[in-house]
Structure 1
Amino acid sequence: MLRRSLYAWAFRAAPGSDGTLASLADTTELPADVRAALVWVEKHSLKVTEAARPERMRAALDALSRKLDGTPAADNKRMVLSNALRYAVERGVLSTNPLTRVDWTPPARDDEVDFRYVPNPRQAAAPIDAVREQGERGAHLAPFFGCLYYAAMRPSEIAALRAADCRLPEEGWGELILAGSRPEVGSGWTDDGESYEQRGLKRRARRSTRPVPIPPVLTAMLREHIEAYGTTEDGRLFRAAKGGRVRSTEYCELWDAAREKALSKAEAATPLADVPYSLRHAGVSLWINSGVDPVEVARRAGHSLTVLFRFYAKILRGQQSLANQLIEKGLSGGA
């Protein structure tokens, strides 16, 4: 109840009588249970200046570092807290961001991908083929999953992919020039009421691009897709069943059915390839295992080297024996 009251009412903006944005809770008559919940929140909340005390900040960081079940939480929760405090500084409520004065170390966490459940090339290709067999929608979205695996793209990047971004020769390798993304966002949180936002590439300057070479198998998939389905009015390759951006609910439903059909019963009973995003992990893992330089892997995937080594350290450590062989060969050649 508290979450719904805050998320759907107190923190949600709506145009006021003068046209400026204000909290929906201030511009709309509230249901009685929502009003009671927000009154309770106001009564039990700390003032910002009180919350900024170091002991309060340390307690908040400790709480945000773990989920309700005690397992480590994502780092973005601390980032949201920091952004809120920076906004308080901007509004003059605080003189400085109090987080900078707190000596706090986050609990250790294992961010590495669990490679037991990352599909190998056979286990990745088979469900993609099974997606294609699921009628018209499956045939339309099979290349969507191909982009996840063969180009290690993020779903938001695939949703923004346009024909103009594709270099698709009749034979050989092609190239995608990634320039933007369309992440899913609740329609109540966007200015235009759409269920997505148009953004640049993740952690990149707004107008930056990322060229990604793609193997012949994906080049052919995208060529056939454009020939069969064309593009949207703005040139995008993929559309939802009723138009607009492809939603995760739509492609996840296709993936679940394809996974059950393509994998063995033993494989399907495990978390192996249980979500479409596992294809991106599989694509990056394939590049590393194939001996591609980590710097190039990180560039193609849109990662920083720090993130690449944090999530794929186990595979990268496994490449040490190959590196040792190359160095030994170089030493013996020098002798």
Structure 2
Amino acid sequence: MKLRRPKPGGEVDRRSVVNPVQARQLLTAVTNVERTRGPMMRAMFAAMYFGGLRPGEAAGLREQDCHLPETGWGLLTLAKTRPENTDSGETHDERGLKHRGAKETRPVPIPPELVTILREHIAAHGVASDGRLFRTESGKAFSGSTVSKIWKEARAYAFPPDVVASPLAARPYDLRHAAVSLWLNAGVHAPEAAERAGHGVDVMLRVYAKCIDGQREMANRRILEALVG
């Protein structure tokens, strides 16, 4: 008799999820890494945290995709992703969004804090010839190894050694996990959170199941309010 090993569920490790205070500490720490590359990456990491973008989506973000008003919420209309490690021979390929048609877009409302960060980034660093916000001084996309290096150093600035040794925000991608976890814990309805994140609802709830706190108490309170009403 053969037993099948259970396949890993792909759930996010809640130990990797930063809270808002920790996320801001990391974003500040990034600016202290090197003279140019760290400060130029801060807004990219902020887009992953406050907007829930995948790294490839952040790499493909263009100025024309951003509605950044002087006050209030903004809007990113994601159209392209630039994932690394492709088969084309290029460092990054430009593709359509994950799980969507080649010409489909995804609207992502962004809070005022990220609007301000992106406006400041554009004012300080400009954009590439094709409108991309995040690139090297020569206009190329940041390589994955460079991003990982800057992130590793930023964690060392932001956290004490015991936390650095932990899974907390070990990878830049964990900023996206923290964003979606925050939305769900804030009570954002699953379909809306999934739309912002570019997930299917079923996949999102499975992946983030262990990062959702306090939902039972919230559900009980809402049921009581409905019964009284």
Bin for the TM-score computed over the shorter chain: over 0.9
Contact 1:309 1:316 in 2 (8 A): no
Which position in structure 2 is the counterpart of 1:292? 188
CA distance in 1, matches of 2:104, 2:214: 33
Amino acid of the structure 2 residue aligned with 1:179: A
- Give 1:113's match in structure 2, choosing from 3, 6, 12: 12
Q: Decide whether aligned partners of structure 1 residues 158 and 123 sit closer, same or farther in structure 2, where only a CA change above 3 A counts.
A: same
**1:314 and 2:213 are equivalent in the alignment:** no
Instruction: Give the TM-score of the pair, scaled to structure 1.
Output: 0.64
Q: How many angstroms does 1:317 deviate by?
A: 7.0
CA distance in 1, matches of 2:190, 2:211: 11
Listed one character per residue, the Cα deviations across residues 36-67 of structure 1 (whole Å, up to 9, x for unaligned) are xxxxxxxxxxxxxxxxxxxxxxxxxx9xxxxx
Listed one character per residue, the Cα deviations across residues 280-307 of structure 1 (whole Å, up to 9, x for unaligned) are 1111111111111111111100010111
Which position in structure 2 is the counterpart of 1:252? 148
Which position in structure 1 is the counterpart of 2:59? 159
**1:148 and 2:48 are equivalent in the alignment:** yes
Which position in structure 2 is the counterpart of 1:234? 130
Which position in structure 2 is the counterpart of 1:280? 176
Bigger fraction of residues in helix: 1
Partner SS, residue 107 of structure 2: strand
Which position in structure 2 is the counterpart of 1:328? 224
- Give 1:172's match in structure 2, choosing from 64, 69, 72: 72
Which position in structure 1 is the counterpart of 2:24? 125
CA distance in 2, matches of 1:138, 1:112: 30
**1:261 and 2:184 are equivalent in the alignment:** no
- Give 1:211's match in structure 2, choosing from 72, 87, 107: 107
Q: How many angstroms does 1:109 deviate by?
A: 2.5
Partner SS, residue 77 of structure 2: strand
Q: Which protein has the larger Cα radius of gyration, Structure 1 or Structure 2?
A: 1
Identify which of structures 1 and 2 has the higher relative contact order when contacts are C-alpha pairs closer than 8 Å and 6+ apart: 2
Contact 1:240 1:247 in 2 (8 A): no
Q: How many angstroms does 1:230 deviate by?
A: 1.1
- Give 1:185's match in structure 2, choosing from 85, 101, 120: 85
- Could you tell me which runs of 5 or more consecutive residues in structure 1 were left unpaired when the two chains were aligned: 1-61, 63-104
- Give 1:224's match in structure 2, choosing from 120, 128, 132: 120
Q: Once the two structures are aligned, what percentage of the paired residues are identical?
A: 46
CA distance in 2, matches of 1:255, 1:315: 23
Instruction: Give the TM-score of the pair, scaled to structure 2.
Output: 0.93
- Could you tell me which runs of 5 or more consecutive residues in structure 2 were left unpaired when the two chains were aligned: none
Listed one character per residue, the Cα deviations across residues 138-184 of structure 1 (whole Å, up to 9, x for unaligned) are 11110000011000100111111100000001111111000110111
Q: How many angstroms does 1:241 deviate by?
A: 4.7
Q: Tell me how many residue pairs correspond in the alignment.
A: 226
CA distance in 2, matches of 1:271, 1:138: 22
